[in-house]
RNA sequence: GGGCCCGUAGCUUAGUCUGGUUGGAGCGCUCGGCUGAUAACCGAGAGGCCCGGAGUUCAAAUCUCCGCGGGCCCA
C-alpha cells in the first residue's frame, strides 16, 4: 500500500484552497496555531481597523496578506501572537454615506430627520460590507480573530477613549480655540480635506487692489490685494515680508497727491506711471497702524489694524502686502494668534453677514462682493479691480463654493508634546527607514495642535461639559464618574443624542453643566486602539501584556493618519511609543500606473482573482513584486504568471515525488540515512536549502519580504526543479530497491517537507495541502501551520560544494554553446570533453565529472593543466570555448560509427518515449516495439537493443510493421537525420 | 506651492546606500536544442539616449544640483 496519496498533474489551486478553508474551519487550525504558543514570548500586533462601509479592494488585500505573513512567521518562530481584528466605525464618511441614502445633505435636515434615527442608520451602515470583508479576509488566508474584534463604537471602547481624553484634559492639554475649516454654507457642514479635494474648479473671481490709509500720515496708503473682497470685512492686519524690498511711490497720473507703498518686485501691478520716492525692507513697516476700511464689525481679544511681518508673504502675485482676516484663513488665524491680535467674525454659520455689518446684513458673502467693491469705490480706497482666474474648491455634494471659515473647536496641544513625539519616534524602527526622519520626522518637527472636535453626529461624543452659569468645564473620564455627577438618568448608550440629555452639577457654582455638542475626530478613536481594545484601565491585564505593539503595518497614506494618531495619543497619555516596528506599504496602482479608485472605474475585482488564480498566486505576486514600500502596478496577468512559474513548478516537483514514491511504495519513516553518506547531488541540494533558509530568515527579519520570496522562487525553480530533480530523475526510475534510490527519495522528501514549512507563511494553502500528504503520521501537528519554522543546520552547509556546482553549471553552459556552434545536437554522444584549468578547479570538478558527462553527453571528461592547452587548440576536431579567465573547454567533435549508432538509437528512444506519452501509457507499462528503416537503422537498433529495452520498458523489438492496422498498435513515421524511420508500439 | 518616495529592454524588475571590466535576470519575440515530473527547461539572437540637463570625479545607472513624469501626504 502506497504511503502517499497520488495526485493529479494539474494542481487546480483554487479548488485545493477552498477545500482547505473548510478543513481549517473544521479542525480549528488557526485557533490551535495560536494556542499552542501561549507560553511563548508575546509578539504584539495591532490591527489597523478598516471601515466596512465599502468593498475591500486590492490594496486592502495587500495589507492583509503582509500582516498575515509576518504573524504566521512569528508564530512559527515560537512567539505567542494574538490577532484581534478591529473595525473603525465612526466618522464623517459614514455619515455622508447615510445622507446619500436618505437623500439629504444638510445638518438641519439630519436634525429634522432625528439624530437618534440617523445614528441608528450609521451604525447599520458601517457593517454593510462586513460579509464581503470577512469573506475576503478568510479567502486570502489572513488568520485574524474576527469573532472577537474590537469595535470603535463599542461602549467599552468609547469609555476607554473618554478615560484617555480625561488624562489629556487633566494635563491641561485640552483647550478651546478656533479652527479655520473648509465649510459648505449650504450644507452647513465642514468638509474633510479629502472631500475638498474632490471638486476643485477653475473660476474667475474679482481681485481687488485696496488702499489702506496709514494713520498719522497724509495721503500715504498701503496697497493690498485680495481675491475675496468679502473677507475685507474681517480684516485685522496687513502682512509684509520682513526682508523683501518695499517702495514708496508717487503716482504721476493721480489727480491727488497720492503715495502708495508696495513691494518693489510687484510694481508692475500699477497701471499708472510712478516715481519711486523711497526703498526699505518690509520690517521697516512693522507695527504701523492704518485706518479701517469699514468700521462695522467688532474686534475682540487683541489689537488690530496694524502691519505685521510674516514669512508666508510671497511676491508671485498681488502687491506683496497681504490682507489678513483670521476668521477666514488658516494662515491668517495662526499668525494673528501668534502675534496676539484680535478676532472679528462678521459672518454667520450660513455664510451671511450679521447685523454687525448693517449695509450687508443678511447677504450671502459671495453675493456681497459687488456691493463691497462699490462701497470701496465710493470711499476712494479702491485702486483697481481685475479678474483673477484660479482654482477654487466647491462642495462635491451641492456645488456651492466653499468658504474658509473659523469655527470653534477643541484642540489637543500637540505642539507642547513635540519633544516627546520626537523622542518616542526615535525608539521606533521604520521600514522603509527614510520615513523615520523624512516624511514622518519632518511632520513631527512642524507639528500643529490637533483639532479634535467635529460638529457632527456619529462619533464618540466629546466628553466635556460646560457650566451654563459660570462657564467652568469638566471632562468625564468614565461611566461611573458620569453617573456620580449626573443630575438625571445616564443612558446605556453613550452616543448622541442620548448623551446630550445628561446634565451634570457644577462643583463651583452648582449650576447646570451641559455637554459640548461635538463628537471626537474618529482618528482619535483608532489612535486609542492599543488600550481601548482592551477596555483599559477598567480592565488592566490584557493591556499590560500587549503594550507596546511589536509590529503594525498599513499603507503609506497612514503616515499622518493612523501611524501618527497612535503615536500622538500614546505620547500624550503614556509618553511611550505605541509600536516598536512599523512597516509602511506602497499603494496598488492599475496596470497603467494610476491609483485605483471607484470614480476611475479601474478597481480590480478581487473575487475574480480568487476564483481564477487563487489566493496563493495573489499572495506570491504581492510578495515578489518588489520592496513592500514600493507601489505595485497590479495586473492579473502578473498573478497568472506567478501561478504558472512558481506554484506550478513547486507542485510539479511535489507531483514528481509522490508519483514515484507511490509506485515504489516508498516510506520515509523506515529509512534513515545520514546526509554524509548520500551523494554529492543530495548533499548539494541540502546545503543549498540550508543556505536559503539562513537568507530567508534574515530577509524577513528586515521586512525585505521580496528578497526572501525571490530567493525561494529561485531555489524552487532553478535549484530544485531544473537541476536537482532533472539530474536525479534516473535514480527514481530504477525498478529494484537500492541504496542510491533511497537516498534520492529521502533527500527530495526532506527538502519538500522543509520547503513547506519555509513557505507556509507565504502560501499557506499549497504548503498545507502538500504537507498533509507528505507528513501522514507520527506527529501531533496535523498542519504545517503548527510546525516550527525551519532553522538552518550550519553543519550541512557545504560552500565548497555549492561553489563546485556553480562552476559545473558554467562548464555545462560552455559545452552546450560549443555544441550549438558546431551544429551537433545534444543527443549525439561525443567522445571527449577536455577542461583546461588550474589544480584548484580540477579538484572542484573531479567529484562532479559524472554529471558533466551526462549533461554534455560525452564519454570522457579529461582535466588538464593550462600548459597543455596549446596541444588541443592545434587539433581541428577539438572545438574551443572560453569558460572564464583561466578556464577553457575543448569538445572533441569527431564521430565514428559507434557514436553515430548511439546517437541514432537515442533519437529512436526519445521518439518511443514520446509515443508512450501520446497514448497515455502508465509509467510502468511494458511494450513491444516494431520498426522499419534502412540498414543503418536496423544495425543500430540491433546493436543497442538492450539499451532500448531498458529505456522504453520494451519486452520485444522486431523489424517489420504489422500488415493490419489495429487500435492496439500505435504507428508513427519519423525523420531522423534525414532517414525515414517508422515506429510502432503496443502494450505487451 | 511645500515635503517624502519612485522612474533601468515592449512588460515585470536586479544593480543605486558603499562610484570601477562589456548594466544582469524573467515574461514576450526570432532561431536552434532538450524533454516519461514540468503549460517546464537549455543555447544563441534581436531589443537599453539606465527619464532629461548640468556638475563632482581618472571614472556616474550609482554622488550633487536643476528640470520632467508618476505616486503619497500636506497647503
Please report, for the domain that includes residue A234, its CATH number.
3.90.740.10
> What's the structural domain count of chain A?
6
Phi first, then psi: what are they for A460, rounded to 5°? Answer: -70, 120
- Looking at residues A91-117, what average pLDDT do you find? 89
Chain A residues 839 to 858 whose Cβ lies within 7 Å of strand B are none
Cell numbers describing residue A672: 534513515
Chain A residues 326 to 365 whose Cβ lies within 7 Å of strand B are 330-331
| A825 nearest nucleotide via C1' and CA | B33
Domain end: A351, A377, A393, which one? A393
pLDDT digits (tens, 9 = 90+) for A385-422: 888 767 677 876 677 788 888 888 898 999 899 999 99
Q: Of these residues, A345, A533, A558, A828, which one is catalytic?
A: A558
How far: A423 CA to B42 C1' (Å)?
Answer: 57
**How many angstroms separate the CA atoms of A59 and A846, rounded?**
53
Q: Pick A821 or A18 by higher pLDDT.
A: A18
- Is A150 within a domain? no
How far: A627 CA to B15 C1' (Å)?
Answer: 14
DSSP letters, A236-297, are: -EEEE-SSSEEEEEEESS-SS--EEEEEGGGGGG--S-EEEEEEEEGGGGTT-BB--S---S
**Number of C-beta neighbours around residue A644 at 10 A:** 12
Three-state DSSP class for residue A531: helix
Q: Of these residues, A595, A644, A671, A917, which one is catalytic?
A: A595
Three-state DSSP class for residue A57: coil
- Is A148 within a domain? no
With cut-offs at 50, 70 and 90, classify the pLDDT of residue A673: very high
- Is A780 within a domain? yes
- Catalytic annotation on A107? no
- Catalytic annotation on A483? no
In this prediction, the answer to ipTM > 0.95 reads no
Residue count (chain A): 988
Domain end: A836, A868, A895, which one? A895
Name the strand (E) or helix (H) holding A830: strand A830-836
Q: Of these residues, A49, A50, A93, A530, which one is catalytic?
A: A49
Phi first, then psi: what are they for A239, rounded to 5°? Answer: -110, 140
- Is A581 within a domain? no
Residues A654 and A748 in one domain: yes
- Catalytic annotation on A558? yes
**How many angstroms separate the CA atoms of A89 and A80, rounded?**
28
How far: A792 CA to B9 C1' (Å)?
Answer: 38
| Residues contacting residue A489 through CB under 8 Å, at least 6 positions apart | A502
pLDDT digits (tens, 9 = 90+) for A864-881: 888 888 888 888 888 888
Protein contacts on strand B: list nucleotides below 7 Å from a Cβ.
Answer: 3-6, 11-14, 26-27, 32-44, 70-75
Residues A871 and A722 in one domain: no
| A809 nearest nucleotide via C1' and CA | B42
| Residues contacting residue A6 through CB under 8 Å, at least 6 positions apart | A658, A659, A662
**How many angstroms separate the CA atoms of A707 and A704, rounded?**
5
- Is A290 within a domain? yes
Strand B closer than 7 A to residue A199 Cβ: no
- Is A759 within a domain? yes
- Catalytic annotation on A986? no
The parent domain of residue A115 ranges over 90-125
Strand B closer than 7 A to residue A589 Cβ: yes
Query: Minimal CA–CA distance to A47: which of A709, A565, A720, A552?
Result: A552
Cell numbers describing residue A306: 496694524
pLDDT digits (tens, 9 = 90+) for A754-778: 999 999 999 999 999 999 999 987 6
Residues A358 and A252 in one domain: yes
How far: A841 CA to B63 C1' (Å)?
Answer: 39
pLDDT digits (tens, 9 = 90+) for A885-913: 778 888 888 888 888 888 889 888 888 88
Residue A974 pLDDT exceeds 90 = no
Strand B closer than 7 A to residue A436 Cβ: no
CATH code of the domain in which A772 resides: 1.10.730.10
CATH code of the domain in which A861 resides: 3.30.1330
Residue A216 pLDDT exceeds 80 = no
Query: Minimal CA–CA distance to A763: which of A713, A695, A699, A698?
Result: A713
| Residues contacting residue A643 through CB under 8 Å, at least 6 positions apart | A13, A613, A614, A616, A617, A620
How far: A625 CA to B11 C1' (Å)?
Answer: 13
Residues A263 and A389 in one domain: yes
Strand B closer than 7 A to residue A292 Cβ: no
Residues A251 and A342 in one domain: yes
With cut-offs at 50, 70 and 90, classify the pLDDT of residue A203: confident
- Is A116 within a domain? yes
- Is A111 within a domain? yes
Share of chain A above pLDDT 90, in %: 39
Residues A851 and A733 in one domain: no
- Give 3-state DSSP helix, strand, coil % of chain A, rounded to 5: 45, 20, 35
Residues A947 and A841 in one domain: no
| A437 nearest nucleotide via C1' and CA | B4
Domain end: A367, A393, A419, which one? A393
Residues A911 and A872 in one domain: no
Residue A676 pLDDT exceeds 80 = yes
Q: Of these residues, A562, A620, A651, A689, which one is catalytic?
A: A562
Chain A residues 926 to 985 whose Cβ lies within 7 Å of strand B are 952
With cut-offs at 50, 70 and 90, classify the pLDDT of residue A630: confident
Residues A809 and A766 in one domain: no
How far: A559 CA to B17 C1' (Å)?
Answer: 23
Strand B closer than 7 A to residue A914 Cβ: yes
Average pLDDT, chain A: 88
Strand B closer than 7 A to residue A913 Cβ: yes
Chain A residues 715 to 754 whose Cβ lies within 7 Å of strand B are 717-718, 721-722, 725-726, 729, 733
Residues A218 and A108 in one domain: no
Residues A858 and A727 in one domain: no
Strand B closer than 7 A to residue A565 Cβ: no
- Catalytic annotation on A595? yes
Residues A810 and A671 in one domain: no
Between A45-59, A126-140, A386-400, A862-876, the lowest mean confidence (pLDDT) is in A386-400
Amino acid at each position: 500500500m502506497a504511503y502517499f496519496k497520488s495526485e493529479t498533474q494539474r494542481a487546480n489551486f483554487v479548488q485545493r484552497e477552498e477545500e482547505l478553508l473548510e478543513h481549517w474551519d473544521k479542525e480549528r487550525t488557526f485557533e490551535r496555531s495560536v494556542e499552542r504558543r501561549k507560553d511563548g514570548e508575546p509578539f504584539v500586533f495591532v490591527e489597523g481597523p478598516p471601515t466596512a462601509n465599502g468593498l475591500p479592494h486590492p490594496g486592502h488585500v495587500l495589507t492583509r496578506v503582509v500582516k498575515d505573513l509576518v504573524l504566521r512567521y512569528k508564530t512559527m518562530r515560537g512567539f505567542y501572537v494574538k490577532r484581534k481584528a478591529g473595525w473603525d466605525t465612526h466618522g464623517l464618511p459614514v455619515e455622508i454615506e447615510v445622507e446619500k441614502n436618505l437623500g439629504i445633505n444638510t445638518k438641519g435636515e439630519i436634525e429634522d430627520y432625528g439624530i437618534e434615527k440617523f445614528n441608528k442608520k450609521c451604525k447599520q451602515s458601517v457593517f454593510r460590507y462586513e460579509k464581503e470583508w470577512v469573506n475576503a479576509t478568510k479567502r486570502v488566508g489572513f488568520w485574524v480573530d474576527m469573532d472577537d474584534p474590537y469595535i470603535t463604537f463599542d461602549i467599552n471602547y468609547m469609555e476607554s477613549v473618554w478615560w484617555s481624553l480625561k488624562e489629556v484634559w487633566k494635563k491641561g492639554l485640552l483647550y478651546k480655540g478656533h479652527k479655520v475649516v473648509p465649510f459648505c454654507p449650504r450644507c452647513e457642514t465642514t468638509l474633510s480635506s479629502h472631500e475638498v479635494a474632490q471638486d476643485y474648479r477653475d473660476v474667475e473671481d474679482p481681485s481687488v487692489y485696496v488702499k489702506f490709509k496709514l494713520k498719522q500720515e497724509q495721503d500715504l496708503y498701503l496697497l493690498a490685494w485680495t481675491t475675496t473682497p468679502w473677507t475685507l470685512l474681517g480684516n485685522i492686519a496687513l502682512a509684509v515680508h520682513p526682508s523683501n524690498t518695499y517702495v514708496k511711490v508717487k503716482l504721476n497720473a493721480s489727480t491727488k497727491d497720492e503715495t502708495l507703498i508696495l513691494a518693489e518686485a510687484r510694481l508692475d501691478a500699477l497701471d499708472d506711471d510712478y516715481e519711486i520716492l523711497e526703498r526699505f525692507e518690509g520690517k521697516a513697516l512693522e507695527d504701523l497702524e492704518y485706518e479701517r476700511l469699514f468700521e462695522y464689525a467688532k474686534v475682540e481679544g487683541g489689537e488690530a489694524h496694524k502691519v505685521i511681518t510674516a514669512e508666508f508673504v510671497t511676491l508671485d502675485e498681488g502687491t506683496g502686502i497681504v490682507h489678513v482676516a483670521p476668521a477666514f484663513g488658516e494662515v491668517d488665524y495662526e499668525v494673528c494668534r501668534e502675534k496676539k491680535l484680535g478676532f472679528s467674525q462678521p459672518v454667520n454659520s450660513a455664510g451671511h453677514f450679521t447685523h454687525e455689518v448693517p449695509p450687508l446684513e443678511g447677504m450671502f458673502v459671495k453675493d456681497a462682493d459687488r456691493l463691497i467693491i462699490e462701497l470701496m469705490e465710493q470711499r476712494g480706497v479702491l485702486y483697481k479691480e481685475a479678474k483673477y482666474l484660479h482654482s477654487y474648491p466647491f462642495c462635491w455634494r451641492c456645488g456651492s463654493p466653499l468658504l474658509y471659515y473659523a469655527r470653534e473647536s477643541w484642540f489637543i496641544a500637540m505642539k507642547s508634546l513635540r519633544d516627546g513625539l520626537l523622542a518616542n519616534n526615535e525608539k521606533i524602527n521604520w521600514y522603509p527607514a527614510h520615513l523615520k526622519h523624512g516624511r514622518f520626522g519632518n511632520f513631527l518637527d512642524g507639528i500643529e495642535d490637533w483639532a479634535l472636535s467635529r460638529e457632527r453626529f456619529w462619533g464618540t461624543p466629546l466628553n466635556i461639559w460646560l457650566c451654563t452659569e459660570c462657564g467652568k468645564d469638566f471632562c468625564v473620564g468614565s461611566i461611573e464618574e458620569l453617573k456620580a455627577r449626573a443630575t438625571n438618568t445616564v443612558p446605556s448608550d453613550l452616543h448622541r443624542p442620548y448623551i446630550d440629555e445628561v446634565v451634570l452639577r457644577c462643583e463651583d457654582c452648582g449650576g447646570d453643566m451641559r455637554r459640548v455638542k461635538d463628537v471626537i475626530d474618529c482618528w482619535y478613536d483608532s489612535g486609542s486602539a492599543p488600550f481601548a481594545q482592551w477596555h483599559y484601565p477598567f480592565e488592566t491585564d490584557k493591556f499590560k501584556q500587549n503594550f507596546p505593539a511589536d509590529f503594525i503595518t498599513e499603507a503609506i497614506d497612514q503616515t499622518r493618519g493612523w501611524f501618527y494618531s497612535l503615536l500622538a495619543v500614546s505620547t500624550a497619555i503614556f509618553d511611550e511609543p505605541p509600536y516598536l516596528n512599523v512597516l509602511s506599504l506602497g499603494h496598488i496602482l492599475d496596470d497603467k500606473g494610476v491609483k485605483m479608485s471607484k470614480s476611475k472605474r479601474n478597481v480590480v475585482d478581487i473575487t475574480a482573482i480568487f476564483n481564477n488564480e487563487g489566493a496563493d498566486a495573489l499572495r506570491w505576486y504581492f510578495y515578489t513584486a518588489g520592496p513592500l514600500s514600493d507601489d505595485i502596478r497590479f495586473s492579473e496577468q502578473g498573478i497568472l504568471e506567478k501561478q504558472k512559474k512558481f506554484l506550478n513548478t513547486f507542485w510539479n516537483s511535489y507531483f514528481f515525488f509522490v508519483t514515484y514514491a507511490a509506485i515504489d511504495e516508498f516510506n520515509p519513516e523506515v529509512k534513515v540515512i545520514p546526509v554524509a553518506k548520500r551523494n554529492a547531488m543530495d548533499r548539494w541540494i541540502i546545503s543549498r536549502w540550508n543556505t536559503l533558509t539562513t537568507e530567508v530568515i534574515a530577509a524577513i527579519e528586515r521586512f525585505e519580504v521580496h528578497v526572501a520570496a525571490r530567493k525561494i522562487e529561485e531555489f524552487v525553480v532553478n535549484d530544485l526543479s531544473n537541476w536537482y530533480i532533472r539530474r536525479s530523475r534516473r535514480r527514481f526510475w530504477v525498478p529494484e530497491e537500492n541504496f542510491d534510490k533511497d537516498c534520492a527519495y529521502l533527500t527530495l522528501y526532506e527538502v519538500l517537507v522543509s520547503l513547506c514549512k519555509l513557505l507556509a507563511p507565504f502560501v499557506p494553502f499549497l504548503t498545507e495541502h502538500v504537507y498533509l500528504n507528505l507528513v501522514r503520521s507520527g506527529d501531533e501537528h496535523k498542519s504545517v501551520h503548527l510546525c516550527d519554522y525551519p532553522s538552518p543546520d550550519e553543519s550541512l552547509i557545504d560552500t565548497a560544494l555549492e561553489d563546485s556546482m556553480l562552476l559545473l553549471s558554467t562548464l555545462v553552459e560552455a559545452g552546450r554553446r560549443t555544441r550549438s556552434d558546431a551544429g551537433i545536437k545534444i543527443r549525439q554522444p561525443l567522445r571527449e570533453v577536455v577542461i583546461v584549468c588550474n589544480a584548484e578547479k580540477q579538484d572542484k570538478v573531479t567529484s562532479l565529472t559524472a554529471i558533466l558527462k551526462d549533461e554534455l553527453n560525452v564519454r570522457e571528461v579529461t582535466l588538464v593543466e593550462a600548459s597543455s592547452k596549446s596541444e588541443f587548440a592545434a587539433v581541428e576536431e577539438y572545438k574551443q570555448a572560453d569558460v572564464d579567465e583561466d578556464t577553457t573547454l575543448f569538445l572533441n567533435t569527431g564521430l565514428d560509427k559507434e557514436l553515430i549508432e548511439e546517437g541514432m538509437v537515442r533519437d529512436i528512444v526519445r521518439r518511443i518515449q514520446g509515443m508512450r506519452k501520446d497514448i497515455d501509457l502508465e509509467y510502468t507499462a511494458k511494450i513491444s516495439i516494431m520498426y522499419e528503416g534502412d540498414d543503418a537503422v536496423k544495425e543500430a537498433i540491433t546493436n543497442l537493443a538492450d539499451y532500448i529495452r531498458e529505456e522504453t520498458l520494451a519486452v520485444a523489438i522486431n523489424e517489420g510493421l504489422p500488415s493490419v492496422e489495429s487500435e492496439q498498435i500505435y504507428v508513427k513515421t519519423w525523420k531522423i537525420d534525414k532517414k525515414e524511420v517508422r515506429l510502432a508500439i503496443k502494450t505487451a
